[in-house]
Chain A
């Protein structure tokens, strides 16, 4: 029965669940809440755990719902970005006529584990720097892999609003990555 002991889950999968949650919630505190709520939900539902999936897979499935719950709850408290939000920052990336203001620099190909780990850190730091709502919509899509229809439905925003947020998030992310070490001279 040790497989169904919540303290064992915490010891064996706590760090893993926290890392998954942290990357999508962009906050230590919220990620800790997500882990706790996941383990409490798992505790309440453990009679229904059939053992078909590994405990980690089962717990990660519960965690995904908890992450969306937390984001939804948080979005209720903050003001949704108005359509103009971020538009000025986007204006800086383009000229009046719609052409790029600066040519895009190519990204290098990381080879060593140290280089890769450095890039991962930059990736997460850039995502943390997005505005909260944008960061969360971006993470639900790019990290968690939710379909935009699901995101819109879960967060009660229109598809157009969702696409605008994702477009801006991707423009800012790309810019941030280029400025923080992704760009390499002479790379493809």
Chain B
């Protein structure tokens, strides 16, 4: 990687930084670019915000639950297995 990554390369680094530990050179390149680029700094903040939203609403009870027919089907399967 060149000493200064492009925005496109920076988004890849910012994304990978959420999944693994970057090499020293990559960390420096990312930090340098984020320091001078408002768009990429915003992208980086939004990635973290997105993760926070996903993790905290892992079990949101406003979304639909099991459909009645599926519930019935599962109940029947369980009953059969219990009786077997």
B78 lies within 8 A of A10 (CB) = yes
Q: Given A7-B78, A40-B81, do A18 and B47 touch, yes or no (CB 8 Å)?
A: no
Residues of chain B with a CB closer than 8 A to A18's CB = 65-66, 70
Q: Which of B9, B40, B42 contacts A106 (CB 8 A)?
A: B42
Assess the B65–A14 pair: CB atoms within 8 A: yes
Chain A binding surface SS class: helix
Task: Report the Cα distance A162→B40, complex, angstroms.
Answer: 22
Residue count of chain B within 8 Å CB distance of chain A: 43
Give every chain A residue within 8 A of B81 (Cβ-Cβ). 40, 43
A148 near B20 with CB under 8 A, answer: yes
| Pairwise interchain contact B6-A99, C-beta atoms closer than 8 A | yes
User: What is the minimal beta-carbon distance from B61 to any residue of chain A, in angstroms?
Assistant: 7
Q: Are B7 and A94 in contact, with the CB atoms below 8 A?
A: yes
CB distance from A137 to the nearest CB of B (A): 11
- When each residue 46-84 of chain B gets 1 if its CB lies under 8 Å from chain A and 0 otherwise, what string results? 110111011101111111011100110111011101100
Are A123 and B49 in contact, CB atoms less than 8 angstroms apart?
no
B60 interface neighbour in A19, A90, A107, Cβ under 8 Å: A19
Query: Is B27 positioned at the interface, with any CB of A under 8 Å from its CB?
Result: no
Q: CA of A117 to CA of B56 in the docked complex: distance in angstroms? A: 12
Contact: A98 with B51, CB < 8 Å? no
- Looking at the assembled complex, report how far the CB atom of A112 sits from the nearest CB atom of chain B, in whole angstroms: 14
Shortest distance from the beta carbon of A113 to any chain B beta carbon, whole Å: 9
A163 contacts chain B at the CB level, 8 A cutoff: yes
- Tell me which residues across on chain B come within 8 A of A143, comparing CB atoms: 54-55, 58
Interface residues of A (CB under 8 A from B): 6-7, 10, 14-16, 18-20, 22-23, 28, 32, 35-36, 39-40, 43, 90, 93-94, 97-100, 103-104, 106-107, 117, 119-121, 123-124, 141-143, 145, 147-148, 159, 162-163, 166-167, 170-171, 173-174, 177
Q: Which residues of B contact A (CB under 8 A)?
A: 6-9, 11-12, 15-16, 18-20, 39-40, 42-43, 46-47, 49-51, 53-55, 57-63, 65-67, 70-71, 73-75, 77-79, 81-82
